[in-house]
Amino acid sequence: MRKISIMAAALVVLLTFFSCGSKFTPGTYKGGAPGIHGEDVVLEVTVDKKKITKITVLENHETPGVSDAAFDRIPKKIMETQSLDVDTVSGATYSSKAILGAVTKALEAAGADIKALSAGKKKAEADAVTAATQVLNADVVIIGAGGAGLAAAVSANQNGASVIVLEKMPQVGGNTIISGSAFNAADPSRQIPQGIEDSTEKHFEQTLKGGDNLGNPVLVRTLVENAYPTLQWLESLGMEFQDHVFTVLGGLWPRAHKPVKPLGTGYIETYMNYINAHDGITVITDTKVTDIYLEEGRASVVKGQGQNGTIVAQGHKAVIVATGGFGANVDLREKYNKFWPSLVNIGTTNHPGATGDGLGLAEKVGADLVGLEYIQLLPMGDPVTGSLSGNIEQAVENRIFINKSGNRFVDEGQRRDVMTRALFEQEDSFMWIVLDSHNYPTMDTKNNFNETIQELVDQNRAVMADTLDELAVKMNVDADNLKAAVADFNRAVETGGPDGFGRTLFQYKMDTPPYFAGGRKPTVHHTMGGIRINEKAQVLDQDGNIIPGLYAAGETTGGIHGSNRLGGNALADINVFGKIAGANAAAEN
């Protein structure tokens, strides 16, 4: 195997500590500040007369995985620098600000001079750092440590390859860790006991038709036929799924599997547990890849910028691109958008790192890009942040959408693009999700994002009432319209539909108080276009030829979902094609 010569080997980091000069009243003090969901992050800060000696987290309701790096780094940095002039952590800005705010409150109580503590007292890391180029070697180099990248890493390692994973964010997980986590697969073992008829053929037909027959049938076939075996593979690695199969928003059929762990934490924990328990996989965060290089026409070398200098990683067998989509990149959304109103002021469910980096990396080495104009929006965004958190729905069958006039306006079991277009036509592009206690039998019942309905009501992110009249008042909608909408829905439940909107997905009547409602707006969710691949996850050029040694998996790829992705197909996609990419990359000569 070829070796890369080391271009530089020395890294000089000068650490200089500054005294903040503040005087404290010795003791332990509490402070709190609101995090991303509105609930306070509460910290305890201990000081002596001259310095901060300890910071302890007492309460934390932030998103698991996403906020971990902030809680790990910021208190340490404050202690090291004895300063509040500390950078926030990329991808966890809200949590970072909450931590800094909570420490500030505690130090105010300790009598500190906050202005002095905030005035540029960061630990000095020498201005003239001699940046080294660190050279790394492995069989397979993977760009991106979200679900697809980690699936590829585990799969490649299981097939005998050594692996390096480079991730630009401070933590692993990507969009997967904050996802709704539904995994579509035809699964007789779970579906038959529920009386659900399904098959890979039905999954194939619905996926292809749901994307207006614009997806590559070979890729769609690969997806649906490998979905259940990949779910079993995840279970073999220790991941647990609930027995109940349900219909996820825009999924069109009850084949969605919900992990036992909240959000997408189960996927990432499963992969990281394997990685931590096995030799041969190195994961490096805080490293933004800038280039892929071909050696003799073969993808082989990856260059990136880490915290302490340049990293050059040689993939002696292959390079896998798993950098996710571009839902958080407003410029790219506007560049490629052809079908939606302007997306400049629309929120996103994506994490901040979903900026489409892999598209440019792959294109520079000849990759073809397909379907970039197909951008998926959901009608389920938080009205303030655009995130999926706070969504009170539990299953498609048991809720309705209500506009500001108190009326239904769409088949709530339709495709995601159909529902979102209908929402854009409503006043302020705003709707309420309305459901009853069939979905929340107790106030401790959680939504799909690990939030209890009591928490959402307490935070004014949802409203509840014992009657529809009272609920209408809290929603500020016409009560007669709301009651008529619920009555129409209940009649359709009795008959099995379809109702006046063509809806056919029903389960329970909405007749058991208390009733709940939560506000939602359109939000950017998924980008269906990306790097062109074949069924082996090999990257193709514009002529359909394989680029040797280059693979791609996950949302960075295009051609699978066509113009519209079915709900629940993303987690299947990233795990199926991540697993395939890893195995095939490991098998390269």
Question: Which position among 73, 221, 415, 416 bears the catalytic label?
Answer: 416
Per the rule left: phi > 0, alpha: psi between -120 and 50, beta: everything else, 140 is: beta
At 309, list the tokens: 């200098």
Buried b (16+ CB within 10 A) or exposed e, 291-317: ebebeeebbbbbebebeeebbbbbbbb
End-to-end CA distance of the chain: 11
Distance of CA 394 to the CA centre of its chain: 19
Buried b (16+ CB within 10 A) or exposed e, 208-246: bebbeeebbeebbbbbbebbbebbebbeeeebebeeebb
Candidates 436, 517, 412, 440; CA nearest to 474 is: 517
Q: Cα angle at 70 between 34 and 234, to 5 degrees? A: 110
Residue 372 CB neighbours (<10 A): 20
At which residue do the structure tokens 């069939």 appear? 438
Per the rule left: phi > 0, alpha: psi between -120 and 50, beta: everything else, 84 is: alpha
Candidates 561, 573, 570, 580; CA nearest to 216 is: 561
What would you report as the CA-atom Rg of the chain, rounded to the nearest whole angstrom? 25
Distance separating alpha carbons of residues 413 and 395, to the nearest angstrom? 10
Candidates 159, 177, 158, 179; CA nearest to 167 is: 177
Give yes or no: 416 in active site: yes
Contacts of 30 (CB under 8 A, 6+ apart): 42, 43, 44, 45, 58, 105, 106, 109
Distance separating alpha carbons of residues 252 and 96, to the nearest angstrom? 39
Distance separating alpha carbons of residues 285 and 269, to the nearest angstrom? 16
Q: Please give the DSSP secondary-structure letter assigned to residue 6.
A: P
At 159, list the tokens: 């097939």
φ and ψ of 116, to 5 deg:
-65, -40
The identity of residue 203, as a single letter, is H
Distance separating alpha carbons of residues 561 and 41, to the nearest angstrom? 39
Distance separating alpha carbons of residues 413 and 407, to the nearest angstrom? 16
Distance separating alpha carbons of residues 67 and 59, to the nearest angstrom? 13
Buried b (16+ CB within 10 A) or exposed e, 71-100: bebbbebbeebbbbbbebbbbbebbbbbbb
* Alpha helices, H only, 187-307: 188-191, 200-210, 217-236, 265-277
Question: Catalytic residue positions?
Answer: 416
